[in-house]
Structure 1
Amino acid sequence: MVGSSPRRRGSWLRTAGVVIAYLLLVGVIAAGIGWWLVFGASGDAAPGEPVQVEIASGASTKQIAETLAAAGVIGNANRFRLESRLADADGTLRAGVYDLATGMPYDLVIEKLQAGPPISYVSITIPEGFTVDQVAARVEKVIGIPADEFLALAKGGAEQFADSHPNVEGAFEGSLEGYLFPKTYRVKEGATAEDVIEMMLSQFDKEFEQVDVEAGKARGLSIPEIVTLASMIERETKVAKERPLVSSVIYNRLKRDMRLEIDATIEYVLPGNRLRLKNSHLRIDSPYNTYRNKGLPPGPIANPGLASLKAAVAPAKTDYIYYVLTGKDGSHTFATNQDDFLRAKRKSKEVFGK
């Protein structure tokens, strides 16, 4: 019988074992080197250096990874793709501009890109008494929304907002004049004209809850008329305590069927507003000319603040039917008769020389 001896077989098995072990070791080393080359290579940028990265809209995970790697935020694009897949983050990374740093942990980068870029805000202040045209100009200057685009909604879009803001129902010719509440707003970057108007109308609704509308209705005024009266008070007064007094003059003249003869209503229809009035201006053919027409003008002439809205439904109890600007601080002298009125006009001429 021919065969191998036990000693020879044992030697062969030992040799085979050594070879297999060697091959496994080589495989492990090769795999490790491969993994390092594919997933573990570091970027050239020093860790912790701030860097701004823009992720394009519609970018794939591969494109995002390459962008991040090029900026030094991550060390290896392939590893980022793998970690994104393992985190089930593919398709959830959001476009935008990010303030990141070089050498960031992959999971932190993924977390930030899923959350989206930080929201940027711009602050805009609308003073009390601004007209809708002035609001539009301020919005264009501060936010960048074209004035024409803003006015297209603000001057005729009341119906569009009426369902969610019933206070604007009945607004004259669909204009939102009077309802764009004056305040300082924080507006998100990228906001549209509709977004900004929505903010202002929402603020109006909130503030208007503090106005005794029923008191105004008891005096025969609708909501648009309350806002109209308030807008005249706003444009006519600079001294806060005079608002209820000016309101009383308006009510007293309406009650006596007198023309209101309020300068601000004419200024409203003049180019540039607030011009020095001439006698010829008093004859302007306009429904807003309260020197020619009795009653309230057809709509607001500005966007009033809360104090003027409150004064519109709560006038002081007086017999005043005149007021004349006599103080350089914007204060007025109030009168109940023609003689006192003329006396106040002489005083005004002494103060202002006109």
Structure 2
Amino acid sequence: MRMEPTYVKRRQRGLAVLITTLILVVGAVVYIGVNRSSGPADFEGQGNGVVKLVEIQEGSSISALGPELVELGVVASDAAFQTAALSNPQASSVTPGFYRLQEEMSAEAAVSALLNPDNQVSMLDIPGGATLMDVTVVGGSTTPGIYSLISQVSCEETPGDCITVEQLQSVAASTDPADLGVPEWAREQVLARGDDPKRLEGLIVPGQYVVNPGADATEVLTDLVTRSATAYTNTGIVERAQALGLSPYELLTAASLVEREAPAGDFNRVARVILNRLAVPMRLEFDSTVNYGLADQEVATTDEDRATVTPWNTYAMDGLPATPIAAPSIEAIEAIENPAEGDWLFFVTIDAQGTTVFTNTFEEHQAATQDALNNGILDSNR
């Protein structure tokens, strides 16, 4: 029987080990290559120039956008987008709104674009005390109303096909209030104004809103009024109005007077004056209610203006105006719902710093009014 030398067996075993090692290395390289090529699909670059609008809704997160971005062709895969979002520490700070992205963006570029405020569609910013229609001040400028503010935001995003002031006024004047989201407690009063485009006055809460650039006038107004109705209802306006002996619409109207008449910090005291006068009863006699019916407005109204009978002039009528005269903030609503304690019947702002004097008697009020005149606060521009 022939025996192989020991060194031959050792060489064969060494060769087998070498071959096995090579097979493992090649397999690993192939495995890595395959897994790299089978990773989540992703585009390269910043996009192809075709703009797509996407919305991050309130209470949502950036990661929730993934499937929509894939459907729009913005990113190649949801998996790549989720990976990019998880890799960016700023992703959780994205704010609600509409954003301009492009088709065929890399996932990383899409996340970066959503974090760039330059890509966010302009917000609609409605200040407290805003009116639906523009306001022209005697000897001064024109303050855009809510309809104009909506139109401006719309035209910034879609210049060739934007919502006009005329379209908004037409919708407000002719659409069933219920269809626009007007709360049930205000519908009768809105309908009583006929086809007046101002009949929605006071029913849009001041604040910042995301407006869908693709929406029409009806959709935008419905969204704003519906959201505002919810905000007002959440203050307990129905229950608090009943406790004060008012209807919810009257409370809304009174709050609009607070918004236009009261300096910051004095909302609840002006609210008390309004309620005290209504209880006496005593005419409110607010210049803001005179101004609401005028083409040109100013701080100090004339005797002729105050004598003009309108549905809002509280110098020429008892009680509250027929409608709100401006958009009352939640702060103004809550001031009427929870007024300060006091017996005041009069108030007047006496200086440029907004110092307001509250008094119980007409004589005290006359003295404070003289201080205001001496400080030039009640000067007329006519």
Bin the TM-score by the shorter chain: 0.5 to 0.7
Residue 160 of structure 1, CA deviation? 3.9
> Which amino acid letter does the alignment assign opposite residue 201 of structure 1?
V
Secondary structure at the residue paired with 2:375?
Answer: helix
2:322 paired with 1:304: no
**CA displacement 1:38-95 (0-9 Å, x = unmatched):** xxxxxxxxx857422489xxxxxxxxxxxxxxxxxxxxxxxxxxxxxxxxxxxxxxxx
Q: 1:150 corresponds to which letter in structure 2?
A: L
Aligned with 2:147 (options 131, 136, 147): 136
Residues 156 and 261 of structure 1, relative CA distance in 2, 3 Å threshold: farther
Q: CA deviation at 1:187?
A: 1.2
Q: Provide closer, same or farther for how the CA distance between residues 274 and 186 of structure 1 changes in structure 2, counting only shifts above 3 A.
A: farther
Ranges of 4+ aligned residues in structure 1 off by more than 2 Å: 47-51, 97-102, 119-122, 153-172, 272-276
Counterpart pick for 1:232 among 213, 238, 257:
257
Distance 1:238 1:152 in 2: 34
Residue number in structure 2 paired with 1:168 = 186
Q: How many angstroms does 1:135 deviate by?
A: 0.2
In the alignment, is residue 52 of structure 1 matched against residue 46 of structure 2?
A: no
Instruction: Write the deviation string for residues 259-282 of structure 1: whole angstroms up to 9, x where unpaired.
Output: 110111111111144454112111
1:294 aligns with 2:318: yes
Separation in structure 1 between the aligned mates of residue 128 and residue 203 of structure 2, nearest angstrom: 11
Percent identity reads 26
Provide the rounded CA distance (Å) in 2 between the counterparts of 1:330 and 1:199.
35
Matched, 1:99 2:123: no
Report the equivalent of 1:264.
288
TM-score for the superposition, normalised by structure 1:
0.65
Unaligned runs of 5+ in 2: 1-43, 53-99, 107-118, 134-144, 156-162
Does the 8 A contact of 1:229 with 1:312 survive in 2? yes
CA distance in 2, matches of 1:272, 1:138: 19
- Cα deviations across residues 195-232 of structure 1 (Å, max 9, x unaligned)? 22122223212322123432221222111111101111
Q: TM-score, structure 2 length as denominator? A: 0.60
CA contact (8 A) 2:132 2:147 kept: yes
Quickly say closer, same or farther: Cα 1:232–1:135, change in 2 above 3 A. same
Distance 1:188 1:320 in 2: 46
Q: How many residues align?
A: 252
Q: Is the 8 A contact 2:268 2:340 kept in 1?
A: yes
Higher helix share: 1
1:149 aligns to what?
167
Q: Mapping of 1:83-232 within 5 angstroms?
A: 99-100=102-103, 121-133=121-133, 134-144=145-155, 145-157=163-175, 159-161=177-179, 165-172=183-190, 173=193, 175-208=199-232, 209-232=234-257
What does 1:3-22 align with in structure 2 at a 5 Å threshold? none
Deviation, structure 1 residue 181: 1.2
Higher alpha-carbon Rg: 1
What is the alpha-carbon distance in structure 1 between the residues aligned to residue 354 and residue 225 of structure 2?
Answer: 29
Q: How many angstroms apart in 2 are the aligned matches of 1:294 and 1:324?
A: 20
